[in-house]
């Protein structure tokens, strides 16, 4: 059982790394960053009530606190990566630390590798290096990341991301890249790509967590096909941003529980074009994300939308997104639509293969889902 000390430390690190990711998306004074900074400061005070000295050391790829290694997870890995790229292996935080000092630490953790920053300590936060000498050249192997952390970890960040798009502000791609890189790193730590999607959960913020789920499902499909490298990252980014056009659709249409009128459908069907246009004008967005945003509702037989005047061949990423989208919509519980059992989902998707969905990709997807069902992973298919 985790100790109160480690529980507070894990929460602190999760808040710090989430705040750092939001700085990368927006700026240090963004309200989401300030909210997370305040929560981190409160968590820090709880930790000081248990432990007088808060010193974090990076030794042989491990995070050390109170002379013991801290259990690895996604947030710890992100902290280690941030400290490493800034040349920091020693962080000491003293009681009495101010919110401004903690915000400076968050800003340091947020910096991308290509950006130069002057690492300066403060009255109550100090940085340094830990030098360890070994007789041999041992390599540290990172333990597997626990996938059940991912969806919940990113939910707040997606909420702010889509609110930013809705207000017509420019999207900072550094934060999106950081999120997808974390997913790809996690998939690379998992020997069975589709076992990684086992912990997918449903949450009330459907619009936001839906994008996370589609990203994970698309990455799983791509890994099974042997796709690696930059194309794998671009597929993840495309999945994350495929529905960005919905943020330009009136909220009352998006949240309507009843059947849409013909006029409302005409408005809804504009979201692929609106999303593609927005992404096309956003610096740093892969062209694959623009294509996928435009094509993901076209359907395999081109019976969907938007309609084109010339013969159109869709990208494989758009086909994968349509498959993931269909699956996630059926397995997710929403206020107006109950989730389905896996057998029912498979039956429906088999019927759609060759018309709405790409047949070969769908068969491959469903075959692995069946294998997962045999491995008795019920959290894949039911809401929590």
Domains and CATH numbers, the chain: 4-128 (no CATH), 150-380 (1.10.3210.10)
Alpha-carbon distance of 317 to 127, in angstroms, equals 44
- Return the closest-CA partner of residue 217 out of 191, 240, 189: 240
**77 phi and psi angles, rounded to 5 deg:** -60, -40
Alpha-carbon distance of 221 to 72, in angstroms, equals 26
**294 phi and psi angles, rounded to 5 deg:** -75, -35
Q: Are 201 and 383 in contact (CB under 8 A)?
A: yes
Q: H or E segment at 54?
A: strand 54-59
DSSP label at 274? H
Looking at residue 287, its pLDDT comes to 94
Alpha-carbon distance of 271 to 273, in angstroms, equals 5
Looking at residue 368, its pLDDT comes to 76
**3-state secondary structure at position 29:** coil
Q: Which residues pair with 127 in a beta bridge?
A: 91
Structure tokens of 56?
């974090």
Structure tokens of 126?
């100090």
Alpha-carbon distance of 50 to 43, in angstroms, equals 11
The reported pTM is 0.59
Structure tokens of 327?
């699956």
Q: Tell me the angle at which helices 206-224 and 229-240 cross, rounded to the nearest 10 degrees.
A: 160
Q: Are 149 and 190 in contact (CB under 8 A)?
A: no
Cα end-to-end distance, the chain, whole Å: 23
In the sheet with 62-65, reading across from the earlier edge strand, the strands are 68-69, 62-65, 54-59, 90-93, 125-128
Looking at residue 384, its pLDDT comes to 34
Looking at residue 361, its pLDDT comes to 96
Looking at residue 291, its pLDDT comes to 97
**258 phi and psi angles, rounded to 5 deg:** -90, -175
Walk along the chain (384 residues) and give the pLDDT tens digit of each residue. 578 888 899 999 999 998 888 887 778 888 889 999 999 999 999 999 998 878 898 887 788 898 888 888 888 888 988 888 888 888 999 988 999 999 999 988 887 655 555 677 788 898 876 543 333 443 333 333 344 444 444 555 555 555 666 665 566 676 677 677 777 776 666 555 555 555 444 433 455 577 888 988 999 899 888 898 889 999 999 998 999 898 888 888 988 888 999 999 999 999 999 999 999 988 888 999 999 999 999 999 999 999 988 788 999 999 999 999 999 888 875 444 556 777 888 899 999 999 999 999 999 998 877 766 665 444 443 333
- Tokens 């996928």 correspond to 292
């Amino acid at each position: 059982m985790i100790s109160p000390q480690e529980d507070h430390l894990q929460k602190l690190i999760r808040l710090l790394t989430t705040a750092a990711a939001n700085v990368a998306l927006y700026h240090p004074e963004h309200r989401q960053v300030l909210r997370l900074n305040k929560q981190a400061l409160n968590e820090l005070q709880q930790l000081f009530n248990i432990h007088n000295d808060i010193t974090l050391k990076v030794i042989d790829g491990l995070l050390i606190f109170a002379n013991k290694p801290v259990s690895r997870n996604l947030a710890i890995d992100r902290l280690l990566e941030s400290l490493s790229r800034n040349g920091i292996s020693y962080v000491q935080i003293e009681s009495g630390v101010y919110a401004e000092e903690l915000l400076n630490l968050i800003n340091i953790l947020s910096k991308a590798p290509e950006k130069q920053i002057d690492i300066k300590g403060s009255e109550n936060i100090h940085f340094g290096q830990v030098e360890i000498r070994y007789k041999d050249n041992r390599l540290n192997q990172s333990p597997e990341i626990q996938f059940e952390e991912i969806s919940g970890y990113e939910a707040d960040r997606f909420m702010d991301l889509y609110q930013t798009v809705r207000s017509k502000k420019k999207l900072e791609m550094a934060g999106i890249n950081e999120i997808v890189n974390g997913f790809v790193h996690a998939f690379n730590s998992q020997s069975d790509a589709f076992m990684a999607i086992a912990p997918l959960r449903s949450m009330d913020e459907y619009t936001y967590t839906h994008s996370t789920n589609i990203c994970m499902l698309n990455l799983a499909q791509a890994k099974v096909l042997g796709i690696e490298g930059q194309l794998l990252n671009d597929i993840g980014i495309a999945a994350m941003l495929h529905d960005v056009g919905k943020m330009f659709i009136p909220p009352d249409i998006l949240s309507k529980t009843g059947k849409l009128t013909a006029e409302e459908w005409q408005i809804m069907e504009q979201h692929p074009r609106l999303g593609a246009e927005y992404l096309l004008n956003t610096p740093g967005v892969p062209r694959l994300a623009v294509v996928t945003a435009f094509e993901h509702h076209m359907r395999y037989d081109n019976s969907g939308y938007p309609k084109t005047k010339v013969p159109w061949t869709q990208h494989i990423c758009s086909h994968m997104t349509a498959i993931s989208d269909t699956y996630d919509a059926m397995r997710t519980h929403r206020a107006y639509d109950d989730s389905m059992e896996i057998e029912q989902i498979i039956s429906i998707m088999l019927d759609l293969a060759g018309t709405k969905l790409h047949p070969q990709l769908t068969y491959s997807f469903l075959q692995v889902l069946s294998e997962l069902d045999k491995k008795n992973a019920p959290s894949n298919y039911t809401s929590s």
